[in-house]
Structure 1
Amino acid sequence: MKFAITSRGDSNSTSYVYRIKEYLIDFNLTYDEENPDIVISIGGDGTLLCAFHRYSSRLDKTAFVGIHTGHLGFYADWVPEEIEKLVIAIAKTPFQVVEYPLLEVIIRYKNDAKESKYLALNESAVKCSEGTLVMDVDIGGQHFERFRGDGLCMSTPSGSTAYNKALGGAIIHPAISAIQLAEIASINNRVFRTIGSPLILPAHHTCLLKAVSDNNFYITIDHLNVLHKDVKSIQYRVSEQRIRFARFRPFPFWKRVHDSFISSE
């Protein structure tokens, strides 16, 4: 089996990289940064997001596993004290694969410029380059509302515990193939109205955001934030691709939620 390791880059995480690499090579596994069967992420959720985007072109061939070296990582199953146990599991045990839904983002531009296509593990947020965001929101091919406010955030089920949660969105189990649209400081008065509640869309529904006046938007894809100019529309839907996590022991989703947000230990 071929493996690769990504690290947050701090001295603590880097020291574990060398240990794990040496252990796994001793077990006759092959270190391969280009075509790994399994990617070990050492750091936090941000480190795993970087690993996901680095290997997004081979999601059907690569599985991910996380070791958190700081605060509890939502995507990380393991702690540094369990490195030897994890190494033996990787080397000796066929792993289970758990798949999570992803968000497909297609940005189309005016003047027939080539569209941009992305995958997001957590979310994509849209904000205006200046002033208030004004977007027509279409759902399932039908006009739903004209949004005015600071921005909009579309999240995956696993990403529902991130920015979406801070916006008052629901936490969705990743066994549900859906995406969630949450408002960021919408304007609601006698003249302008929005639904005012997060919307959960099933896999067969597409959400289309269409520019009304301004055409320049800051669009985030997970940790990436880029100014896109001359935008005509932004299309969101559940991707046909999924991320694969390598599981060597049970780690139920609701336990992750509890440990991340409720447990004080």
Structure 2
Amino acid sequence: MTNRRNIYFYYPNDEASTYKLQPLFDLAKQNDFTILEDPENANIIVSIGGDGTFLQAVRKTGFRQDCLYTGITRSNEAGLYCDFNLDNFDEMLHSMIHEEMEVRRFPLINVDINGETRFNCLNEMSIRSTIIKTIVIDVKIDTKHFETFRGDGLIVATPTGSTGYNKSTSGSVVDPRIPCFQVSELASLNNNRYRTLGSSFVLDKDRKLTLDIIQEGNNYPVIGMDNEAYPVRQVKSITVTLSDKVIKTIKLKNNSYWDRVKRTFL
């Protein structure tokens, strides 16, 4: 890994944060890493914070395929995307220098809105009503109608995103080695007219999910992409597929995804 020496740190770029992180920067320089002011030419992008910061780092740097991402948490934070904390940053550098690290690959989903705008998501895409009224969505798997949903909204989560918003709605936690994505309901309304599955369901990597929004006053739903909201006007249809892209992250040996799930939730 001697060619991976250009490193970019993603963190709140203010004087107080820079001062607190100076020992970390000094340690990187002492180990012959070059700290860049811009992520464009970085081989390694390091977020400093929890999972929310990691998601922002990936999104703001364009879901790059030609670099490694890693996350460092502060002492009072936990993260399923973050293998390191500020107390063991030197362990991360040692792993990179001596090639003792492993690379983990996390899948992304493609989200196409109205056939015009495409986004990537590492965690999840959600669609929710912006008014005090349920939203109605025709759910199609591939080209076939599956159900008509009426309720507060839907969540489409990646395997790694399954531990976030998806899990809070009783969705399943999915192993990130399984190439798939999951659909979960937000307060569905079930009666003689509207009937949904009533549980989350998982789709294979080759499936296409289409969400057609019925225009009954919910023409401006909130579209959540990871931890950002996109107020897209006149949303009529959303298509979700599993992307060919993956996010490559540095992981410590003997620290699997399920090790981190256990530490976080059990």
Fold similarity call, TM over 0.5: yes
Contact 1:216 1:228 in 2 (8 A): yes
- The residue number in structure 2 matching 1:202 is 204
Choose from 89, 95, 98 the match for 1:89: 95
- The residue number in structure 1 matching 2:70 is 65
Identity, % of aligned positions: 32
Choose from 26, 32, 35 the match for 2:30: 26
- The residue number in structure 2 matching 1:129 is 130
Offset at residue 14 of structure 1 (A): 4.1
Choose from 34, 51, 63 the match for 2:57: 51
For residue 128 of structure 2, what is the amino acid of its counterpart? Answer: K
- The residue number in structure 1 matching 2:214 is 212
Superimposed CA distance per residue, residues 113-158 of structure 1 (whole angstroms, 9 cap, x where no aligned partner) = xx11111111010012322111111101111111100000000000
- The residue number in structure 2 matching 1:99 is 105
5+ unaligned residues in a row in structure 2: which ranges? none
Using structure 2 for the length normalisation, give the TM-score. 0.90
Q: What is the distance in 1 between the residues matched to 2:206 and 2:113? A: 19
For residue 77 of structure 1, what is the amino acid of its counterpart? Answer: D
Offset at residue 39 of structure 1 (A): 1.1
Contact 1:20 1:87 in 2 (8 A): no
Q: What is the distance in 2 between the residues matched to 1:95 and 1:257? A: 20
Instruction: Give secondary structure in 2 for the equivalent of 1:231.
Output: coil
* Compared CA separation, residues 10 and 168, structure 1 to 2 (3 A): farther
Q: What is the distance in 2 between the residues matched to 1:13 and 1:77? A: 21
* Compared CA separation, residues 251 and 10, structure 1 to 2 (3 A): farther
- The residue number in structure 2 matching 1:257 is 261
Instruction: Give secondary structure in 2 for the equivalent of 1:39.
Output: strand
Instruction: Give secondary structure in 1 for the equivalent of 2:236.
Output: strand
Contact 2:110 2:241 in 1 (8 A): yes
Contact 1:24 1:87 in 2 (8 A): yes
Instruction: Give secondary structure in 1 for the equivalent of 2:52.
Output: helix
Contact 1:13 1:42 in 2 (8 A): no
Superimposed CA distance per residue, residues 212-250 of structure 1 (whole angstroms, 9 cap, x where no aligned partner) = 113221100011112111122101111110110012423
Contact 1:129 1:227 in 2 (8 A): no
* Compared CA separation, residues 38 and 19, structure 1 to 2 (3 A): same
Q: What is the distance in 1 between the residues matched to 2:139 and 2:179? A: 21
5+ unaligned residues in a row in structure 1: which ranges? 110-114
Equivalent positions of 1:32-43 (< 5 A) are: 32=36, 33=38, 34-43=40-49
Q: What is the distance in 1 between the residues matched to 2:264 and 2:71? A: 15
Contact 2:44 2:69 in 1 (8 A): yes
Offset at residue 56 of structure 1 (A): 2.3
* Compared CA separation, residues 249 and 30, structure 1 to 2 (3 A): same
Provide the alpha-carbon RMSD of the alignment. 1.9
* Compared CA separation, residues 49 and 145, structure 1 to 2 (3 A): same
- The residue number in structure 2 matching 1:119 is 120
Q: What is the distance in 1 between the residues matched to 2:256 and 2:17? A: 25
- The residue number in structure 2 matching 1:146 is 148
Q: What is the distance in 2 between the residues matched to 1:229 and 1:118? A: 16
Using structure 1 for the length normalisation, give the TM-score. 0.90
Contact 2:100 2:253 in 1 (8 A): no
Equivalent positions of 1:182-193 (< 5 A) are: 182-193=184-195
Choose from 232, 237, 240 the match for 1:233: 237
* Compared CA separation, residues 15 and 127, structure 1 to 2 (3 A): same
How many residues align? The count is 256
